[in-house]
A = this chain, B = another copy of it.
Amino acid sequence: MTLQQHWESGRAVLNGWLSVPAGFATELMARQGWDSLTVDMQHGLVDYSGLVPMLTAMAAADVIPMVRVPWFDPGIVMKSIDAGALGVICPMINSRQEAEAFVSCLRYAPRGRRSYGPIRAALVHGADYARRADDMVTGFAMIETRAALEAIDEIVSIPELDAVYIGPNDLALSLGEAPRFDPEASPVYDAILHILARAKHHGKRAAVHTGSPAYARKMVAAGFDLVTVGSDAAFIAQGAAAAVQAFRGG
């Protein structure tokens, strides 16, 4: 299933986050009920050689495979989708020009400049992948700086752009606040709602990174199409800390 097909059902996408480079960790995550999982190649401890077994691990479960690339670079964007990712989140898109450069990597000519060779994607997504790929892959431009905020309409009005993804931590830093998840009643919160509104105005999907299921539900209620909650790394650290504390006599 693609993100577009999921959205056609009218439901928001619940996305999990992967920072641990181990296929088995991904398999553990992939069978817990997420709609999609994103391999974080930016801040996670994962590069391309770690990505492939994680995508393989996802293929056996009913979960949509996504990646966040480390930074905009046509090579890694195209390698990720050739490897089978159906969603690509690109960090730090700050202008229309950067957004256009990104989305052009997701579509074959004449719509873009993606190079032809969907070696694993065609294997796992069906014999007609090559023909349908332009519509199967969803690109998310991360909006997480003041510059991006100021250029928001220029960015979300790009026809080939599918969606925006809001990173609250970097957005907070850029707006002069401390980084934290799940902001409320603050300039960052206002910015998040503003980005959502502009994306919707231009008919684009909007996604946001959250720190709790409760905030994620609130963001879905506000109109977001995809919300990210939790990560394999956080579950390990939090679960272990809680167990140790419970034993120590907390």
Contact surface of A with B, Cβ cutoff 8 Å:
14, 16, 19-25, 27-29, 31-34, 40, 42-45, 47-50, 52-53, 56-57, 59-60, 69-71, 73-76, 78-79, 82-83, 91-92, 108-110, 113, 115-120, 123-124, 130, 144-145, 167, 169-170, 173-174, 176, 179, 212-214, 216-217, 227, 229-230, 232-241, 243-250
Contact = CB atoms under 8 A, between A and B. Distances in A.
A24 B45 contact: yes
Most chain-B Cβ atoms within 10 A of its Cβ — which of A32, A169, A170?
Answer: A32
Contact of A240 (B28, B45, B170): B28
A216 B244 CA distance: 11
Given A78-B70, A79-B70, A109-B173, A229 B243 contact: yes
Given A69-B75, A216-B247, 15 more contacts: A14-B244, A16-B244, A20-B28, A21-B24, A24-B233, A27-B56, A28-B236, A42-B75, A43-B117, A44-B119, A47-B47, A53-B53, A113-B145, A116-B170, A230-B243
A92 B75 CA distance: 11
Closest 10 CB pairs of A and B: A235-B239, A43-B117, A71-B75, A70-B75, A59-B60, A213-B246, A22-B22, A32-B240, A213-B247, A60-B60
A111 to B, nearest CB: 10
A113 B145 CA distance: 9
A213 B53 CA distance: 31
Contacts of A239: 230, 234-236, 238-239
A28 B60 contact: no
